[in-house]
Amino acid sequence: MTQTAGAATPATIPETMRASVLTDIKTLSIEQVPTPPMASDEVLVEVAAVGVCGSDTHYYRHGRIGDFVVTSPLILGHELSGRIVAVGEEVLETRIGERVAIEPQKNCRRCRECRAGRYNLCTNMEFYATPPIDGAFAQYCVIRTEFAHKIPDSMSDEAAALLEPLSVAITTMRKAGVTPGSSILIAGAGPIGIISAQAARAFGAAEILVTDLVLERRERAVRYGATRVLDPRETDIATAGLDVNAFVDASGAPPAVMSGIKAVRPGGTAVLVGLGSSEMSLPVEQIQNLEITVTGIFRYTDTWPAGIHMVSSGAVELDSLVTGRFGLEHAAEALESDVDPNSLKSVVYPNGYQQSNS
């Protein structure tokens, strides 16, 4: 059986689309912008659901994250799912209609890091919603065909969008070396901490300790796989004898990093995921004398297939993380919803909210 590569069907694609554009700090406006042009190896995706990430909120409030500065209007949003509505000439036409989760990056395939298989560290990376590359608070987006991952019918649009933060957690577990029977300490019970706790369980961790200052967030961690939760104001994490294989910081708080590394056993690993201070003190003696590996993570490489399996097998559950649903015109409210301690994940629906799983 032969399948022909398909040409885009321009008749069905509107020339412009609605997008929520960040035009200034804390200023979003709904604009009619050109539908992004599709390269021959790309697909055009009608966006279904977009999760709001801490980085989106940071750009919205501060106009920058470290060296990444918003200098011109920017469309936010990089955690998304949708449906392929058109394909470039090199892509099989049979992909049209597929429901997909988007891995929101485009590496160059040519630089040293790409050639070494670390495409997350590509020096020419174009990543959604990172200036000057637009994200997905819009009706359509384009992505290279291999980064539009087909999802099963059983998976909701929301869960498919949240495969992005799950990918962060999978990368974290890989870096932390979590294997069946491991013990892990996670600081911070926000979205990444909660999804990391679930990922740790899926990776076979036996002990999953989660710390957070807020009671409601600790209680939530228990519902998502924590075997024990700790309030760092009541328990001195550094001296409590936790003796874990791995520590994951999902808080960005310097005291949590300091005490968390001190809770790691000899030869263990600390992974710094949380965005906080760009510089902080570390317990160097501990790191030296116990040969602790301290590392960060930057996005992900080859995590969507694992994430799709983890969700469809039930090992990880993402749907219940959604605490707020917003239309495109309410994207600002979605970005500001993190001030409510009960809010965990807000989702924006650029084409309106509709029941997924068609």
Contacts with Zn ion by CB under 5 A lie at: 53, 107-108, 111, 114, 122
Residue 341: CB minimum distance to Zn ion, A: 20
Helix, strand and coil in the chain, % to nearest 5: 30, 30, 40
- Computed on alpha carbons and rounded to an integer, the radius of gyration of the chain in Å comes to 21
- CA–CA gap between residue 203 and residue 309 (Å, rounded): 12
- CA–CA gap between residue 307 and residue 316 (Å, rounded): 8
> Cβ distance 83 to 48 under 8 Å?
yes
Residue 198: CB minimum distance to Zn ion, A: 16
Residue 125: CB minimum distance to Zn ion, A: 7
Of 35 and 251, which CB lies nearer to Zn ion in the complex structure? 251
Residue 111: CB minimum distance to Zn ion, A: 3
Find, among 2, 144, 141, the residue nearest to 80 by Cα. 141
Find, among 81, 83, 85, 63, the residue nearest to 72 by Cα. 63
> Which residues are registered as beta bridge partners of 246?
184, 269
Of 160 and 264, which CB lies nearer to Zn ion in the complex structure? 160
DSSP state of 176: H
The amino acid that residue 207 corresponds to is: E
Of 107 and 301, which CB lies nearer to Zn ion in the complex structure? 107
Of 96 and 138, which CB lies nearer to Zn ion in the complex structure? 138
Of 192 and 270, which CB lies nearer to Zn ion in the complex structure? 192
